[in-house]
DNA sequence: CTATATAGCTACTGGCAAGTAGCAAAATAA
DNA sequence: TTATTTTGCTACTTGCCAGTAGCTATATAG
């Protein structure tokens, strides 16, 4: 009974700790995206959640760790969505559409994480940068494979699968630079336009 | 004679001063692109040209002015190239190809300036950011007009000219993020692929 | 040759922000 | 109640870097 109580309480403790880490990350990504990584002080991040700087230091060992987790998030979510779409039994065309739609959604919903990664990659340690670039490479690789599969089946007409994958990845990433809530266009509109545009990039002229 | 000598010498002085400003900007853009604006010290910039920090301060009034000029350069060059292409007597299709080719070249040649703008826009003063965003908007506007003209003439098949202009601008900008000298692909290869891809984005399916 | 302007340097200041030591208060346990 | 652990805070230190004051040397002028 004693042990069970203890276990229960340590488990909820962990959940609370995870929640706090998450909250810090959320606020930090927002401020880093708006004012830049270097120009944002941890005092400002702390003030936003109505705590003080040492609070942050009890959940993250330094400012760089915060940046690493922010940068990792966007690419991890995107890769997961891509893998999920590839796991579905569907044609390359359908899979590609689903990837653009799902990743587009993730980029819209997590634009702060994405733009921080784009802008602040230079502020990562060499090791962190290497690790995250490997994740990104994985994404490009899987996308390249899909494009090549679609070319073999005759569904896609592309000159160079690897570079096409880069254009498509760039197009998706680009959304984070200009989409903003309450802007001229809705997220849905933009995502559908992205699907349409990617489709035109890969589709044969006469089809 | 005295006056003529004086004029001549002040003129060459100005040219030398302009050259030094230019040189500072070049080195600064390289270091800002590699290590980030905030992480680069003016002592480092100075060391690269084998002078000291006060040297820089006699050509630029502060670090922010340096950033502003770097950010302005890429967009000014691109807009100039776009205007030049639009001034040629040619069809929308030909004009668009020429724009992608010329701007692609500029982005490859000035990738440091472009990526600094992309990454460090947040570090501009409000006023500088506003001014540069206006320049960028001008570019998008002229490109949108071209796309609309091509649509009217039946050469282009696009859903929404303004958003298509954004995708195309993004595709071009994206080059600066991954092209690097001595990389897998040559500049020419990438630029031709960009032309091909943009062409597919705007062309009717049955052409 | 003397006077003046120009150019660049050495050597500083002042402020800011990352990271820390050690305390106080609350929760939990026994 | 008393002991212990957890959690967060106040109040520092430390180093860095933008920006400056004021000197020295060199070029130009008369």
Q: What pLDDT shows up at residue A3?
A: 35
Q: B172 near B99, Cβ under 8 Å?
A: no
Torsion of CA B62, B66, B68, B70, to 10 degrees: 180
Whether chain A has a CB inside 8 Å of the CB on B115: the answer is no
Across chain A, what does the average pLDDT equal? 94
Rounded-to-integer distance, Cα B158 and Cα B169, Å: 15
Q: What pLDDT shows up at residue A91?
A: 98
Q: What pLDDT shows up at residue B203?
A: 94
CA of A25 to C1' of D2 (A): 39
Residues of chain A with Cβ-Cβ distance to B170 below 8 Å are 170-171, 174, 177-178
Residues of chain B with Cβ-Cβ distance to A156 below 8 Å are none
Q: A147 near A158, Cβ under 8 Å?
A: yes
Please report, rounded to a whole number, the percentage of residues in chain A having pLDDT higher than 90.
90
**Which range is least confidently modeled, A2-11, A16-25, A54-63, B163-172?**
A2-11
Contact between chains at B207 and A207 (C-beta distance less than 8 A): no
Rounded-to-integer distance, Cα B47 and Cα A154, Å: 56
Please report, rounded to a whole number, the percentage of residues in chain B having pLDDT higher than 90.
90
Q: What pLDDT shows up at residue B58?
A: 95
* Alpha carbon distances (Å) from A17 to A56, A111, B184: 11, 25, 45
CATH topology assigned to domain A64-207: Tetracycline Repressor; domain 2 (1.10.357)
Residue, of A66 and A4, whose pLDDT is higher: A66
Indicate the CATH number for domain B69-207: 1.10.357.10
Residues 6+ apart with CB under 8 A from B148: B161
DSSP labels, A81-133 = HHHHHHHSS--HHHHHHHHHHHHHHHHHHTHHHHHHHHHHGGGS-HHHHHHHH
* pLDDT at residue A79 greater than cutoff 90: yes
Summarize the confidence of residues B37-62 as an average pLDDT: 97
Rounded-to-integer distance, Cα A25 and Cα A60, Å: 10
Neighbours of A44 (CB within 10 A): 14
Q: What pLDDT shows up at residue A10?
A: 66
Q: What pLDDT shows up at residue A20?
A: 95
* pLDDT at residue A187 greater than cutoff 80: yes
Summarize the confidence of residues A75-94 as an average pLDDT: 98
Q: B176 near B107, Cβ under 8 Å?
A: yes
Q: Which of A166, A185, A201 sits opposite B200 (nearest CB)?
A: A201
Q: What pLDDT shows up at residue B4?
A: 36
* pLDDT at residue A170 greater than cutoff 80: yes
CATH topology assigned to domain A1-60: Arc Repressor Mutant, subunit A (1.10.10)
Q: B75 near B103, Cβ under 8 Å?
A: no
Confidence of residue A207 (pLDDT cuts 50, 70, 90): very low
Confidence of residue B13 (pLDDT cuts 50, 70, 90): confident
Residue linked to tokens 């230079």:
A122
Please report, rounded to a whole number, the percentage of residues in chain B having pLDDT higher than 70.
94
Residues 6+ apart with CB under 8 A from A146: A86, A92, A95, A96, A99
Tens-digit pLDDT profile for residues B111-156? 999 999 999 999 999 999 999 999 999 999 999 999 999 999 999 9
Contact between chains at A171 and B171 (C-beta distance less than 8 A): yes
Tens-digit pLDDT profile for residues B188-207? 999 999 999 999 999 997 64
Residues of chain A with Cβ-Cβ distance to B203 below 8 Å are 200, 205
Domain boundaries, chain A: 1-60, 64-207
Summarize the confidence of residues A170-176 as an average pLDDT: 98
Rounded-to-integer distance, Cα B133 and Cα B35, Å: 24
Q: B149 near B92, Cβ under 8 Å?
A: yes
Q: What pLDDT shows up at residue B206?
A: 61
Q: Which of B38, B170, B200 sits opposite A174 (nearest CB)?
A: B170
Rounded-to-integer distance, Cα A143 and Cα B94, Å: 31
Tallying the residues shown for chain A, one arrives at 207
Smallest Cα distance from A56 to chain B, Å: 23
Could you say which nucleotides of strand C lie within 7 A of any protein CB atom?
6-11, 16-22, 28-30
Neighbours of B164 (CB within 10 A): 24
Across chain B, what does the average pLDDT equal? 93
DSSP labels, B80-136 = HHHHHHHHSS--HHHHHHHHHHHHHHHHHHTHHHHHHHHHHGGGS-HHHHHHHHHHH
Q: B32 near B40, Cβ under 8 Å?
A: yes
Q: What pLDDT shows up at residue A205?
A: 77
Residues of chain B with Cβ-Cβ distance to A174 below 8 Å are 166-167, 170-171, 173-174
Residue linked to tokens 């040219």:
B15
Q: B135 near B79, Cβ under 8 Å?
A: yes
Give the tokens for residue A59: 């959940």
B97, exposed or middle or buried, with CB in 10 Å at 0-12, 13-18, 19+? middle
């Amino acid at each position: 009974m004693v042990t069970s109580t203890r276990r229960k309480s340590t488990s909820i403790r962990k959940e609370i700790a995870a929640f706090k880490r998450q909250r810090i990350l959320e606020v930090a990504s927002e401020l880093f995206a708006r004012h830049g990584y270097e120009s944002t002080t941890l005092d400002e991040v702390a003030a936003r959640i109505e705590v003080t700087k040492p609070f942050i230091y009890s959940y993250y060992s330094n400012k760089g760790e915060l940046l690493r987790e922010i940068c990792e998030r966007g690419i991890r979510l995107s890769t997961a969505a891509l893998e999920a779409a590839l796991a579905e039994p569907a044609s390359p065309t359908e899979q590609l559409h689903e990837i653009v739609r799902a990743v587009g959604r993730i980029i819209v919903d997590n634009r702060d994480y994405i733009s921080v990664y784009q802008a602040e990659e230079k502020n990562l340690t060499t090791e962190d940068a290497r690790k995250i670039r490997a994740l990104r490479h994985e994404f490009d690789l899987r996308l390249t494979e899909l494009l090549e599969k679609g070319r073999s089946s005759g569904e896609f007409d592309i000159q160079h699968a690897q570079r096409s994958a880069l254009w498509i990845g760039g197009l998706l990433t680009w959304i984070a630079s200009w989409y903003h809530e309450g802007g001229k266009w809705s997220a849905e509109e933009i995502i559908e336009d992205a699907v349409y545009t990617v489709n035109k990039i890969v589709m044969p002229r006469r089809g």
